[in-house]
Amino acid sequence: MTNSKTLVSYIFSIVLCFAAFSSKADVAQLNNKYDAYITGTYYSADLSDNGSYSPSLKVSDSVLNGNIRKSHQEIIQLYTDLRDIRHDLENEIKDFFEDNFLHYSWLRFSITGPIEVKLTGLGNNKIQVNLSKFSVYARVKAENSWWLNVYATMNMPSAEFVAELDIYTGELSNMQLLSNYSIDLDSSIDYLLPGFSNIFTIAFNFYFDDPIGDALTTLDGTVTALALENVIPVNEYVYNGVDFGKEIIEHLDNMLDGEFIHIVANDFPLVQSPKAHFCVEPNLMSWYEAIAEVNVSNRAYMRIGRDINQNCVWNGSGGQPDY
């Protein structure tokens, strides 16, 4: 099983898993007046025949128990694998600077979501895979001595990776990185050698063009096989005449030309930390986080998320709370 196939398996897992999960209580002491305790986390799925989810059917039952948490783990793993690009880039950066008689100092690197994935039927048993919308940012410093510091910034505000998937073999082909990215470089030597940064920037862009593409097309991870009929049973969740289990199974098994599954995956930790800054008085409160949204050819819409319950308790400092 190839690393590229792993990427698609993560995406499938998002579509396959819906359930309810409660977490153990967590606690944090964050501001002057309140301590905040997470008292419960409850996953659910909203099913609708329109993208506004009005009206919709909210599902949270024992049949789906635990599976949405597994789906959430797969989303987190997708973000983790993307952020592992840092290791590939860091090695390339070190080599590049050493080749130019500079000492690598540090690298700051981040990938931010959301991540959007679209699987589109192409016919002939092939699916086009689009991975897009996330942002990549990197800033690096190198030096030679006290008089020469070099800073380079790479910014890819909307990354997009495209490939074709053979649904029978699981092989990806025609992989491309379509994103534009910029690299800006500034140096303390410019006041002595005007134009040095411009020359360096041209070389920097040329050197990193292939490594960035290679890193995005060789994501790593472990694949877990999931049974479609056991996760979202046919005839189990029918809303406004749409059988959600049947829609997903038919699309994944035989995606026709032009049909698609579109997924938006947000970046939330598996265990959410208490948020004392949400507290305005001693009481129980809650908020909702949309973990992923799935659109099946504009016929079936699914949103998976979680309600997080928190207890706000005055800790005796910061003045008497208002009741």
Q: What is the pLDDT of residues 221-253, one digit of tens each?
A: 322 222 234 445 677 677 777 777 777 767 666
d(CA 314, CA 71): 36
Whether 285 has a pLDDT exceeding 90, the answer reads yes
Q: What percent of the chain has pLDDT over 90?
A: 10
- Nearest residue to 56 via CA among 45, 64, 48, 68: 48
Sign for the CA dihedral angle at 100, 211, 267, 38 comes to: negative
Q: Which residue has the higher pLDDT, 60 or 230?
A: 60
pLDDT at 246: 77
Identify the residue with better confidence: 2 or 95: 95
Q: Read off φ and ψ for residue 271, nearest 5 degrees.
A: -110, 110
pLDDT of 146 strictly over 60: yes
Same domain flag for 40 and 89: no
Looking at the structure, tell me whether residues 168 and 150 fall in a common domain.
yes
Query: Two tokens at 204?
Result: 């920097």
Residues 33 and 155 placed together within one structural domain of the fold: no
Within 10 A of 137 (CB to CB), how many other CB atoms are there?
15
Number of domains observed in the structure of the chain? 2
Q: Are residues 161 and 96 in the same domain?
A: yes
176 is a domain residue: yes
Tell me which of 216, 245, 265 is where a domain ends.
216
pLDDT number for residue 152 = 84
What's residue 9's pLDDT? 42
71 pLDDT exceeds 70?
Answer: yes
- The answer on pLDDT for 293 being more than 60 is yes
Q: pLDDT exceeding 70 applies to what percent of the chain?
A: 70
Specify the pLDDT at position 1: 41
The structure's pTM equals 0.73
Please check whether residues 206 and 225 belong to one and the same domain: no
Parent domain of 150:
85-216
At 275 the pLDDT is 92
Q: How far is the C-alpha of 66 from the C-alpha of 145, rounded, in Å?
A: 56
SS3 letters across 258-307: CCEEEEEECCCCCCCCCCHHHCCCCCEEEEEEEEEEEEECCCEEEEEEEE
Residue 320 lies in a domain: no
Nearest CA-CA partner of 38 in 270, 316, 321 = 270
Alpha helices in 189-268 (DSSP H): 196-216, 228-231, 244-253
Domain termination site, one of 181, 216, 251? 216
Q: Is 172 helix (H, G, I), strand (E, B) or coil?
A: strand
> CB of 292 within 8 A of CB of 264?
yes
| Within-domain flag for 167 | yes
93 and 157 co-located in one domain: yes
Residues 204 and 287 reside in one and the same domain: no
Q: Is residue 91 domain-shared with residue 171, that is, in the same domain?
A: yes
pLDDT of residue 121: 84
Of residues 216 and 145, the one with the higher pLDDT is: 145
- 119 with 205, same domain? yes
58: Cβ contacts below 8 Å, ≥ 6 apart = 44, 45, 46, 47
Identify whether 185 is part of a domain: yes
Residues 64 and 149 placed together within one structural domain of the fold: no
Query: Are 177 and 260 members of one domain?
Result: no
Quickly tell me which residue has 């690096």 as its tokens: 140
For 162-201, write each residue's pLDDT tens digit: 888 776 776 777 878 788 888 887 777 666 656 666 766 7
| pLDDT at residue 95 is higher than 50 | yes
Question: What does each C-alpha distance from 252 to 2, 238, 245 come to in angstroms?
Answer: 19, 18, 11
For the cut 90, the answer to whether the pLDDT of residue 289 exceeds it is yes
In a domain, 323, yes or no: no
Please check whether residue 59 lies inside any domain of the structure. yes
